Amino acid sequence: MWVHYHHQPHLASSCNRMTPIKDLKGEDIENEKYQSIDFTGCNLKLTSFTDCKFISCNFTQALFDHTFFSGCHFSNCCLSGIDFSQAEIKKCKFTDTLINLAVFHQLKAGSNYELSKYDLKNCSFIRCDLTESTFSQCNLFKIEFLNSVLQKTVFNKCDLTQADLSTSDIEGCIFSDSIIAKTILGLKGFIQFGNSKGFILDQNPIN
């Protein structure tokens, strides 16, 4: 069964109880646990997080600028509308997290518009809402999107080789100039993908 997280009721109800945090500009942080922290407006320029846990945290309007996350776990967090072009994400896990309307891409050094490859392999998205988010030129080799909502999500020039979308809702999902090789879909996802390409299922197959 697919779990939909369009409203994130638990996170929304706890926002007023979150603790604002001061700027963490330029800090190297390891093995920290952040729970119910509001990062809104927090300056994370040149900040590095390694093996940290973020539980019920709000990153909306956080200031990412050469921000680095490695081996981190985001659980029941809000990353809605985030532009990850100034963040590097390595071996991170996202569970029960709202990441809709987000943009995953990376700009070439010194450019304001040219994209380079964004490496997200070894990351996973479990029971996340990625509705209308965009992945551009991302390496998604063997990545897991499990029990997640990928409605109207765009994959543009991405490598989805052996990626697992088998239990996710991909209705309206767009795969534009992306590598699809041994990419795993469930039956419903396979039908949704076929429908997006103009195919329809024969309701009266010949026995």
**Residue 48 identity:** S
Backbone φ, ψ for residue 14 (5° rounding): -100, -5
The dotted CATH code for 9-196 is 2.160.20.80
| 36-86 per-position pLDDT tens digit | 999 998 999 999 999 999 999 999 889 999 999 999 999 999 999 999 999
Cα-based distances in Å from 39 to 19, 22, 100, 125, 131: 9, 8, 17, 21, 22
Q: Could you tell me if 151 and 169 are in contact, meaning their C-beta atoms sit under 8 angstroms apart?
A: yes
Q: Where are the domains of the chain?
A: 9-196
What would the mean pLDDT of 189-196 be, rounded to a whole number? Answer: 84
Supply the mean pLDDT for the chain. 89
| 87-99 per-position pLDDT tens digit | 999 999 999 999 9
* Sign of the four-CA dihedral 40, 42, 47, 50: negative
**Residue 193 pLDDT exceeds 90:** no
Q: Could you tell me if 84 and 115 are in contact, meaning their C-beta atoms sit under 8 angstroms apart?
A: no
Percent of the chain with pLDDT over 90: 72
